[in-house]
Amino acid sequence: MLYIDADACPVKAEALRVAERHRLKVRIVSNGGLRPSPHPLVETVIVSQGADAADRWIAERIGPGDICVTGDIQVALRCLDAGAEAINHNGEVFTRANIGNRMAMRDLMADIRAANPLAAGGSGRSFSKADRSRFLNGLERLIQQAKRRPPPPPARA
């Protein structure tokens, strides 16, 4: 299953096209403001308002063999902890090898912003065609890898 952390996600349409090609079920999770998709493989989930409600919903349900599209490093870490895969909007796959560095950089940048709250500037560079292309390639690779992986053993009762 493909989970999309949909609030501020610039690659929803691209993720849906890739999932459709692979006949992969999709859950689009958001705090609201999204039009439900009529596609039979797509479930639109609107969670209650509140900080991190969509993140918690995904983390409580995702598991081995699943993939999450998210720009949130905390969500990515929780997905990895659950045995799932996670990919950023720009195509970077989150792994055990890189998640620690990503968390440290996020914390450092938060400290820098807090130390200089009146600093001018934007939130970084804009999302580009190259980012979109890297995302499509990265998601395709993750799905192909997941298809080759043997299914997890059934839970014992």
Higher-confidence position of 27 and 119: 27
Q: What is the CATH number of the domain that holds 33?
A: 3.40.50
Inside any domain, residue 95:
yes
Q: Model confidence over 5-24: pLDDT tens digits?
A: 998 889 999 999 999 999 99
Q: Model confidence over 107-157: pLDDT tens digits?
A: 677 667 677 766 655 556 677 899 999 999 999 999 999 888 776 667 676
Inside any domain, residue 76:
yes
Inside any domain, residue 23:
yes
CA distances from 103 to 73, 77, 137 (A): 7, 9, 24
Inside any domain, residue 156:
no
**In the chain, how many domains are there?**
1
Inside any domain, residue 153:
no
Half-sphere exposure of 19 (CA within 13 A, CB side): 24
Inside any domain, residue 132:
yes
Q: What is the pTM (predicted TM-score) of this model? A: 0.83
Inside any domain, residue 106:
yes
Inside any domain, residue 154:
no
CA distances from 27 to 8, 58, 102 (A): 15, 9, 25
Q: The domain containing residue 76 runs over which residues? A: 2-117+128-148
